[in-house]
């Protein structure tokens, strides 16, 4: 179960990186996959998973100690999450059925996801709400909260008349996204402040599989996820010959990232001109010189084994769903073409 959650986080985190604070819910339904609950939802505050529910356990569980404390103090919130989990399962399943009938009447396994939640800028006090649905990785319905309209993809546009008429749905989304969500986000930030607003320095190492492969500058154990990492030559940031990895979550709530340098054209005498910079606000930059003596080579895996095993197991469990998830994330980086 844990590994599956990690996979969900891996998939969604890039969406959640922001200087603003965020409370986001990621819901997935894919009926017919034996090894995977029909419905799974996770809630994430500032990139940290705070809650979980699925259609097998039929309840919502806190995922951080300070969230346990919060729901003890506010049992109504726990009830809301349990009820919402059950209702969202039914809603999402019904929407998936409707889409399937239109898009694949022959049947087959499909995945429907919902991402909803709010972002709050603690400086400007501005609140944004989000609600969007994707079918097999394609964005099909997106709420434009400011304009109070739903946007539909070409493939889902037949749903538009029904959704436009359903004023209760819009009202409900409004209440949740504009009122409940920001209020709870602030509460989460309050209860979790010593954890969410902490700063943790990572350990940084240089890793290389074989003398001809890339040198990976790898930082693990840092918090929060608003970090940057780059390679420099003579103090100048390098853009060529560097491959930046995404920031990934560790099991313990910290993050890891890497930047790979292709050293194939670096002359041995030039090695000392290179260094790797890890930058996280609140801690001093961690600068690691490119030096044969400090490169760790014997490890077969460049990344913590736990994370990799988690991903592999998760991928096996989720082979169908995951394909959709990754496609969704990729699509999200591109232009959206939705019909108002």
Ligand X SMILES: *[C@@H]1O[C@H](CO)[C@@H](O)[C@H](O)[C@H]1NC(C)=O
SS (H, E, C) 144-169: ECCCCEEEECHHHHHHHHHHHHCHHH
Bridge partners for 230 per DSSP? 277
Note whether 197 and 211 are within 8 A (CB).
Answer: no
Stretch that binds ligand X, among 38-46, 85-93, 130-138, 275-283 (CB under 6 A): 275-283
| Full DSSP string of 257-292 | EEEEE--TT--GGGGGGEEEEEEETTS--EEEE--G
What are the φ/ψ torsions at residue 118 (nearest 5 degrees)?
Answer: -140, 155
Stretch that binds ligand X, among 37-45, 99-107, 174-182, 260-268 (CB under 6 A): 260-268
Site for ligand X (CB under 6 A): which residue of 83, 101, 203, 281? 281
Stretch that binds ligand X, among 6-14, 201-209, 274-282, 321-329 (CB under 6 A): 274-282
Report the DSSP pairing between strands 255-261 and 48-54. unpaired
Look up residue 177 and give its DSSP letter. Answer: I
Site for ligand X (CB under 6 A): which residue of 17, 279, 323, 332? 279
- Nearer to ligand X (CB atom), residue 124 or residue 265: 265
Site for ligand X (CB under 6 A): which residue of 168, 194, 210, 337? 194
- Distance between CA atoms of residues 292 and 11, nearest Å: 34
199 near ligand X (CB under 6 A): no
Site for ligand X (CB under 6 A): which residue of 227, 277, 307, 317? 277
By three-state DSSP, how is residue 111 classified?
coil
**Residue 178 CB, nearest approach to ligand X (Å):** 26
340 near ligand X (CB under 6 A): no
- Nearer to ligand X (CB atom), residue 135 or residue 278: 278
264 near ligand X (CB under 6 A): yes
Contact set for ligand X, span 46-105 (CB under 6 A): none
Q: What are the CA-CA distances from residue 159 to residues 102, 107, 133, 163, 324 (Å)?
A: 10, 19, 13, 6, 21
- Distance between CA atoms of residues 304 and 311, nearest Å: 11
What are the φ/ψ torsions at residue 36 (nearest 5 degrees)?
Answer: -135, 135
Stretch that binds ligand X, among 18-26, 33-41, 130-138, 257-265 (CB under 6 A): 257-265
197 near ligand X (CB under 6 A): yes
**Residue 240 CB, nearest approach to ligand X (Å):** 9
214 near ligand X (CB under 6 A): yes
Q: Which residues lie near ligand X (CB under 6 A)? A: 193-194, 197, 214, 262, 264-265, 277, 279, 281, 285
């Amino acid at each position: 179960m844990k590994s599956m959650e990690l996979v969900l986080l891996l998939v969604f985190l890039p969406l959640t990186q922001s200087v603003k604070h965020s409370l986001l819910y990621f819901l997935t339904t894919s009926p017919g996959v034996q090894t995977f609950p029909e419905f799974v939802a996770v809630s994430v505050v500032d990139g940290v998973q705070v809650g979980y529910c699925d259609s097998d356990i039929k309840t919502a569980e806190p995922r951080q100690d300070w969230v346990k404390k919060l729901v003890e103090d506010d049992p109504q919130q726990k009830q809301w999450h349990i009820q919402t989990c059950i209702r969202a399962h039914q809603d999402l399943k019904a929407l998936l059925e409707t889409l399937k009938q239109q898009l694949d009447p022959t049947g087959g396994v499909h995945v429907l996801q919902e991402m909803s939640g709010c972002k709050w800028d603690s400086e400007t006090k501005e609140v944004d709400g989000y609600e969007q649905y994707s079918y097999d990785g394609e964005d099909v319905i997106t709420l434009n909260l400011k304009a109070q309209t739903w946007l539909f993809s070409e493939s889902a546009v037949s749903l538009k008349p029904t959704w436009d008429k359903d004023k209760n749905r819009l009202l409900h989304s409004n209440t949740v996204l504009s009122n409940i969500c920001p209020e709870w986000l602030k509460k989460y930030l309050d209860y979790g402040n010593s954890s969410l607003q902490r700063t943790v320095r990572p350990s940084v190492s240089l890793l290389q599989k074989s003398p001809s492969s890339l040198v990976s500058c790898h930082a693990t154990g840092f918090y929060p996820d608003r970090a940057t990492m780059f390679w420099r030559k003579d103090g100048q940031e390098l853009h060529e010959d560097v491959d930046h990895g995404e920031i990934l979550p560790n099991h313990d709530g910290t993050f890891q990232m890497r930047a790979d340098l292709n050293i194939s054209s670096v002359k041995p005498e030039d090695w000392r001109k290179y260094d790797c910079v890890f930058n996280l606000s609140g801690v001093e930059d961690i600068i690691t010189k490119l030096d044969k003596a400090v490169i760790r080579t014997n490890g077969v895996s460049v990344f913590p084994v736990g994370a990799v095993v988690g991903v592999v197991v998760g991928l096996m469990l989720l082979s169908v769903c995951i394909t959709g998830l990754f496609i969704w994330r990729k699509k999200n980086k591109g232009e959206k073409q939705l019909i108002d």
